[in-house]
Structure 1
Amino acid sequence: MKAGVIGTVDGNFDALESFETTVKQGDFELKRCIDVRRGFTLPSGIEAYYGHAAMEQVKDREQVMIQNGEISIYEEPQKVPSYTEFLTVPGEVVVVDSGAGSFAYSMIGSQTNTNIERAEINLSGFAADHEDDSDPWKVGFYGHLGNAENGVVHGTDLLSDDELSGVLHESNLNQLGVEYPYDGQMLKANMAESGYFEIYQPSNYESKDYLQFILDEVIHYLK
């Protein structure tokens, strides 16, 4: 994984183990499972884990019945599975592959006696701190007072553009794509205020490098 939605951990745990449990909801027995596939070490020597999470939920699904020349449409409760991949650095962050996978936060939190919540990234703070050493190629903004109330712009060195910089500096940012020097190479990253963070390039970036970058460069801007 080198993309996902970041959750922050309130509390601490040293390790994560696989587990499976069953809960009862009405007439349904629902399974929940954390499957830790492997542990690995980050370049800084910190332990991390990769795994899968899945849970069953009861949701009403539309059903169609054709009988005696008539069509009936109704809703019926059914078991529906949800699945996500995840990465975690114990006591620091849990990253799931999409917003739909955020159910894993509560599952891992329950198992480790911690509280894990989806993070927001302070993009304005990140952009301001790295204005001199990064090249923004995408900026999404909102809350601007003027003709340009919100939008997304693409280009190069956008925060220094004579026509756009005033609008972007006076707005809240909800998307930020940057080319950014880190550990002797140029990274191309994309992030969102909603907690999504992705490394586009280099293409051979591994999960351990992705997590290390979050710990080194992004975690200070999580809220």
Structure 2
Amino acid sequence: MKRGVIGRIDGGLGRIDSFSLTREEEGVELDAMVDVQRVKRTPNGLDITMGRAAREDVAETESVSLSTGGITVSRDAAVETAHTEFLTVGDEFAAVGSSDGTFAFDLLGDRFGADVSRAAVDLDSFWLDLEDPTPWKVGFYGHDGPVENGVVHGEGVLDDGVFGRAIADLRKNQLGLRVDIRDREYKFLITESGYLELYQPREMAAAGFAEFVADNVLPHTS
């Protein structure tokens, strides 16, 4: 996993084993499953559980037919299945592959009696806590003027004179940064709503993703 949505854990998940659940919705029996595939301890002492989650939901489908009598629109209920990769790091945080996979937070929380919810990241405190980061993408909002929000690209965008200083003072909803951490170059995108995507190092595995979040992102989440 090199990208994902971070979720904070309020309470404890404890040891996570594979499990399945069944519920009924609109008279339809629906299944959900969490499949634990790997448990690992990193050299830094993080206990990581990795696997996949899937959940069935009832979705309304629409079909249209044309005839000499006109156009007929009908709606039917169908069962759709969403799935995602996930990882958890002890009782510290969880992560899923994308926004579509945040249902796994609910599955884990309901099963183990914890509240697992999407994290909010304070981007200003996060990037100021890094040593000499280079921004290559900045999304901002809340500007009182003709340009209320936007996204700017370019190496060192906040160094661009008056323009860069103005953006630096605005609220940010996404940051693309380059930074050296312990003699390794990291390039990544992080959003205020808890999404992180690591582009470099290219050989980054799930354990490296988890350690990056634990060391650098988690202290700036709520």
TM-score, with structure 2 as normaliser? 0.93
**Matching residue of 2:152:** 153
Report the CA distance between 1:71 and its aligned residue: 4.4
Equivalent AA in structure 2 for residue 188 of structure 1: K
| Secondary structure at the counterpart of residue 111 of structure 1 | helix
Maintained 8 Å contact 1:53/1:104: yes
Structure 2 Cα separation of the partners of residues 52 and 221 of structure 1: 27
| Secondary structure at the counterpart of residue 55 of structure 1 | strand
- Give the alignment of 1:10-49 within 5 angstroms: 10-49=10-49
Structure 1 Cα separation of the partners of residues 65 and 161 of structure 2: 62
**Matching residue of 2:92:** 92
Report the CA distance between 1:90 and its aligned residue: 2.4
Maintained 8 Å contact 1:122/1:193: yes
Maintained 8 Å contact 1:58/1:78: yes
Structure 2 Cα separation of the partners of residues 68 and 169 of structure 1: 62
Maintained 8 Å contact 2:4/2:96: yes
- Give the alignment of 1:44-123 within 5 angstroms: 44-65=44-65, 71-123=71-123
Equivalent AA in structure 2 for residue 206 of structure 1: A
Equivalent AA in structure 1 for residue 164 of structure 2: S
Structure 2 Cα separation of the partners of residues 15 and 78 of structure 1: 34
Report the CA distance between 1:12 and its aligned residue: 1.4
Report the CA distance between 1:99 and its aligned residue: 0.5
Maintained 8 Å contact 1:30/1:57: yes
Structure 1 gaps of 5+ residues are none
Report the CA distance between 1:68 and its aligned residue: 7.9
| Secondary structure at the counterpart of residue 43 of structure 1 | coil
Summarize deviations over 1:109-151 as a string: whole Å, max 9, x none.
1111100001111112112333x52111111111112343211
Structure 2 gaps of 5+ residues are none
| Secondary structure at the counterpart of residue 7 of structure 1 | strand
Maintained 8 Å contact 1:119/1:195: yes
**Matching residue of 2:165:** 166
Distance 1:128-1:45 versus aligned 2 partners, 3 A rule: closer
Maintained 8 Å contact 1:43/1:208: no
Structure 1 Cα separation of the partners of residues 26 and 127 of structure 2: 50
Structure 1 Cα separation of the partners of residues 104 and 6 of structure 2: 11
| Secondary structure at the counterpart of residue 39 of structure 2 | strand
Structure 1 Cα separation of the partners of residues 217 and 31 of structure 2: 34
Which segment is superposed worse, 30-39 or 160-169? 160-169
Maintained 8 Å contact 2:46/2:90: no
Structure 2 Cα separation of the partners of residues 22 and 213 of structure 1: 35
Distance 1:65-1:149 versus aligned 2 partners, 3 A rule: closer
| Secondary structure at the counterpart of residue 214 of structure 1 | helix
Count of matched residue positions in the alignment of Structure 1 and Structure 2: 222
Report the CA distance between 1:157 and its aligned residue: 2.0
| Secondary structure at the counterpart of residue 159 of structure 1 | helix
| Secondary structure at the counterpart of residue 13 of structure 2 | coil
Maintained 8 Å contact 1:51/1:87: yes
| Secondary structure at the counterpart of residue 164 of structure 1 | helix
| Secondary structure at the counterpart of residue 216 of structure 1 | helix
Residue identity over aligned pairs, in percent, reads: 36
